[in-house]
Amino acid sequence: MVFAPVWTTLYALMGISLALAWKKKKNISFRWFWIQLCLNALWSLIFFAARNPLLAMGILVVLWGSIVMTMRSFHSVRIASVLLLPYLIWVSFAGILNLSIVLLNR
């Protein structure tokens, strides 16, 4: 199964990104980082526990936007922003899968 190593890697990159941004702190807002982290957890609950792929898709769209906003807020520490790119790509892939499930279960 590919999900466990991918998520382990993504969370490691997110942690490194946060640590690098935290070290600089200059003109950086961490609000978006915490929002995207909460949305990530919420998506898992809605998709897997509540089994509501349509609502999960809506959350995923907002999650995607919050990751972009996190990357923008970390822009002054370029590497911190770039480290979030694999996460954004993975969430995009999850969005395709989530949308496929929504469309197939109409």
Reported as a single tens digit per residue, the pLDDT across 24-74 is 987 888 999 999 999 999 999 999 999 999 999 999 999 999 999 999 999
Burial 68-86 (b: 16+ CB within 10 A, else e): ebbbebbeebeebbebbee
Q: Dmax of the chain from CA atoms?
A: 48
Based on the structure, what is the number of domains in the chain? 1
Report which of 16, 28, 2 is spatially closest to residue 80, judged by C-alpha positions: 16
Specify the pLDDT at position 1. Answer: 77
Specify the pLDDT at position 11. Answer: 98
Whole-model pTM?
A: 0.95
Alpha-carbon dihedral sign for residues 78, 82, 84, 89: positive
Enclosing domain of residue 35: 3-104
